[in-house]
């Protein structure tokens, strides 16, 4: 039962929906954008380097405002992304757009992924490139992004290795970009080849497969696919999302005919510009603005007018596709085969096996607790608890329908627990037994001082009872165990998991019982564990790990032991109170948390916690964290997003009078779209 309070006994909260962790900057999401995201309304993201570096003033602000207006005309919400005074802005006001556009008075840094930390830490202004904008789109859940042209492989890239970060980011970010191809100054065939290597879906939009060349409709090079309508494009994007492919999509939209420039003339201008750049030693991120400026002057600003026209056209197309995607999402249709497969998978339900406990909490309202027989002023509360019960209850209040296997007595306490659950048909009500109870005494600061538990009834969670539920165990999407059942019962569940190839998530409950499943012959069925540091030490010793050289610092010790225990358990999630948590696993953070096979060498990440001054209740935060992780991982979401959902559930528990709040949240909550920030340790 100690896990009821240990994880968040210090003043720790989860990620706020508008923040990275305390080590990164605040997200400032414009109210209309936030409303649209929460309600799955159509949103189109826009980059900001086109304002800060792509066009001269005042053309840049005129273009920015007219592009946003094109999106609004289609019934969509524009979300221009930029950094202002170190704050990451998702959606800009007119004043903020004007501030960015005024290049003389407000210098901005061209901000790709590599530049984010510098711009944020120094509280500077930044115009986000395609890759920088993609990074933010992924974190807030915007699936469609309109721009002029993406970066690519520069001419002579095979010698200079000058390849835009846009291509790398697009390869690992599930966002669809609508652009007029790659900028003409680039090597288009090499760019298309590199996109294929990165696994990016590339299609032309319209009546031809010939990939556009930014200022010109034709490049003489062809895309692998062609998409003719906004509905067709939306279906492809939806399929990419449903299947969690985690890679981007590029739709090449040709510039409107009346604004298209002669490709031969443009090519000659670009060659001259490249010679000048070489002569003046202009390289790196300065090369693109230099070349575009030269093209603009050589064409007597015709290229600038073409640039504005194609950006507006791309925004219109992106908005039309965003509308169709929004309809498909709401109808939960549009790609019948994919949706059916997804629905078939979600018919399997998580099965939770473990303890149901009535928590009786006493908060002493005096500065000091003295054990000398005196009466202390206090406040008494009681609520349903138990690690497995809390997890099952929280899962049911998020978005899953779990099957919960447990035991209670035929008494008043058992009735309270029974009434707290949405589904109780797999809970055995035993005559002649007392429902498990735990008395917890807190001081006035919320620190746990005494725990007294009556857990005798858990001996009745027998192997025979487990065997009765073999059918639901066989059909489970995942098995979740706490440490309360007897060892022989845990052994039987783990044997069934091995037989039916089910993954097991073990929440240790308390260091005293944390070692139980690891003393059974079938412990290798356990693929996920979520101990606190003390429980992790006990598990490590049970597995025969030598801890004599463990560091003294809590975070360092967690990393040290995680690395050793990872040889036995694929996914180790260690909760560290105010310091957040550490996870070790064999996959990148952008990959689904729920994986059947190892994908990489071992990686260890630290997800920091955030502090608050006040909380109401600490008894269920850790269990709600686990529930959030399980719900999101069963949806095939990345580790980063699963952590966001888990921390949000924990935060809501801290603000609730009961261990599990009466209401949690569904998939419309922003936590399902925001990637939790982390520090890579290994």
Catalytic residues: 47, 183
Determine contact, residues 588/604, Cβ cutoff 8 Å: no
Give the Cα-Cα-Cα angle 529, 656, 7 (nearest 5 degrees): 30
Residue 342 exposed, middle or buried by CB count within 10 Å (0-12, 13-18, 19+) = middle
**C-alpha distance from residue 2 to each of 135, 360, 628, 654 (Å):** 39, 14, 20, 16
C-alpha distance across the termini of the chain, in Å: 32
What is the full DSSP assignment across 350-395? -EEES--EEEEEEEE-SS----SS----EEEEEEEE-HHHHHHHHH
Determine contact, residues 26/62, Cβ cutoff 8 Å: no
Please write down the HEC assignment for all residues of 114-165: HHHHHHHHCCCEEEECHHHHHHHHHHHCCCEEECCCECCEECCHHHHCCECH
Q: How far is the C-alpha of 482 from the C-alpha of 55, rounded, in Å?
A: 60
Q: How far is the C-alpha of 52 from the C-alpha of 106, rounded, in Å?
A: 9
What is the full DSSP assignment across 160-216? H--B-HHHHHHHT---EEEESSB-TTB-HHHHHHHHHHTT-EEEEESS--BPPBTTB
Say which residues have a Cβ less than 8 Å from residue 583's Cβ, sequence separation at least 6.
Answer: 562, 571, 572, 573, 574, 604, 605, 607, 639, 643
Determine contact, residues 53/111, Cβ cutoff 8 Å: no
Q: How far is the C-alpha of 589 from the C-alpha of 612, rounded, in Å?
A: 26
User: Three-state SS for 607?
Assistant: strand
Q: How far is the C-alpha of 1 from the C-alpha of 17, rounded, in Å?
A: 30
Determine contact, residues 573/559, Cβ cutoff 8 Å: no
**C-alpha distance from residue 378 to each of 166, 315, 332, 364, 412 (Å):** 60, 62, 52, 4, 23
Determine contact, residues 99/107, Cβ cutoff 8 Å: no
H-assigned helices in 501-617: 533-542, 554-565
User: Three-state SS for 223?
Assistant: coil
Give the Cα-Cα-Cα angle 644, 326, 319 (nearest 5 degrees): 105
Q: How far is the C-alpha of 307 from the C-alpha of 29, rounded, in Å?
A: 28
Structure tokens at 87: 């704050």
DSSP β-bridge partners for residue 357: 385
Q: Which of 670, 651, 676 is nearest to 661 (CA)?
A: 651
């Amino acid at each position: 039962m100690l896990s009821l309070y240990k994880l968040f006994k210090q003043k720790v909260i989860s990620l706020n929906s508008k923040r990275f962790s305390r080590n990164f900057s605040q997200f400032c999401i414009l109210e209309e954008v936030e409303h649209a995201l929460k309600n799955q309304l159509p949103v189109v993201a826009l980059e900001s380097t086109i304002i800060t570096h792509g066009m001269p003033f005042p053309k840049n602000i005129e273009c920015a405002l007219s592009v946003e207006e094109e999106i609004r005309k289609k019934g969509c919400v524009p979300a221009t992304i930029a950094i202002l005074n170190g704050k990451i802005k998702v959606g800009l006001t007119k004043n903020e757009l004007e501030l960015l556009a005024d290049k003389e008075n407000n210098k901005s840094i061209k901000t790709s992924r590599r530049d984010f930390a510098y711009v944020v830490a120094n509280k500077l202004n930044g115009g986000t490139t395609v890759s920088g904008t993609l990074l933010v789109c992924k974190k807030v859940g915007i699936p469609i992004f309109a721009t002029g042209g993406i970066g690519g492989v520069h001419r002579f890239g095979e010698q200079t290795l000058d390849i835009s970060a846009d291509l790398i980011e697009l390869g690992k970010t599930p966002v669809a970009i609508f652009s007029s191809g790659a900028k003409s100054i680039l090597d288009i065939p090499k760019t298309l080849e590199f996109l294929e290597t990165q696994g990016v879906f590339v299609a032309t939009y319209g009546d031809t497969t010939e990939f556009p060349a930014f200022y010109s409709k034709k490049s003489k090079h062809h895309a692998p696919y062609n998409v003719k309508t906004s509905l067709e494009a939306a279906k492809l994007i939806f399929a990419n999302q449903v299947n969690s492919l985690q890679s981007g999509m590029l739709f090449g939209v040709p510039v409107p005919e009346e604004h298209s420039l002669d490709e031969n003339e443009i090519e000659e201008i670009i060659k001259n510009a490249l010679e000048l750049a070489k002569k003046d030693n202009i390289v790196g991120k300065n090369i693109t603005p230099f070349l575009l400026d030269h093209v603009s002057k050589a064409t007597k600003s015709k290229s600038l007018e073409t640039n504005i026209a194609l950006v507006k056209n791309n925004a219109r197309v992106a908005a039309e596709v965003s509308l169709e995607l929004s309809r498909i999402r709401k109808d939960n249709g549009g790609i019948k085969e994919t949706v059916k497969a997804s629905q078939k998978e979600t018919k399997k339900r998580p099965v939770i096996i473990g303890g149901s406990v009535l928590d009786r909490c006493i908060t002493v309202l005096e500065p000091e607790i003295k054990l000398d027989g005196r009466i202390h002023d206090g406040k008494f509360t009681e609520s349903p608890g138990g690690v497995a019960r809390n997890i099952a209850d929280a899962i049911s209040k998020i978005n899953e329908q779990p099957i919960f296997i447990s035991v209670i007595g035929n008494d008043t306490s058992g009735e309270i627990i029974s009434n707290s659950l949405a589904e109780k048909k797999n809970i055995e009500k035993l005559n002649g037994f007392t429902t498990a109870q735990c008395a917890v005494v807190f001081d006035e600061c919320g620190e746990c001082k005494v725990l007294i538990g009556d857990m005798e009834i858990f001996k009745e969670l027998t192997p025979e009872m487990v065997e009765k539920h073999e059918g639901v165990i066989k059909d489970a999407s995942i098995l979740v165990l706490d440490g309360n059942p007897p060892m022989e019962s845990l052994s039987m569940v783990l044997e069934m998991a091995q037989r039916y190839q089910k993954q097991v998530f073990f929440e240790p409950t308390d260091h005293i019982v944390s070692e139980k499943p690891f003393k059974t012959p079938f412990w290798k069925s356990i693929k996920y564990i979520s101990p606190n540091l003390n429980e992790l030490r006990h598990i490590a010793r049970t597995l025969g790990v030598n801890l004599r050289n463990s560091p003294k610092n809590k975070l360092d010790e967690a990393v040290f032991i995680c690395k050793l225990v990872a040889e036995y358990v694929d996914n180790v999630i260690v909760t560290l109170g105010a310091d957040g948590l550490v996870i070790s696993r064999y996959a990148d953070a952008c990959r689904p948390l729920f994986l059947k096979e190892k994908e990489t060498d071992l990686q260890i990440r630290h997800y920091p916690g955030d502090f608050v001054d006040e909380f109401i209740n600490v008894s269920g935060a850790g269990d709600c964290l686990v529930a959030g992780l399980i719900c999101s991982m069963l949806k095939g979401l990345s580790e980063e997003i699963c952590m966001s959902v888990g921390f949000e559930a924990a935060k809501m528990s801290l603000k609730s009078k009961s261990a599990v709040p009466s209401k949690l949240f569904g998939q419309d909550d922003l936590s399902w779209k925001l990637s939790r920030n982390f520090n890579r340790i290994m």
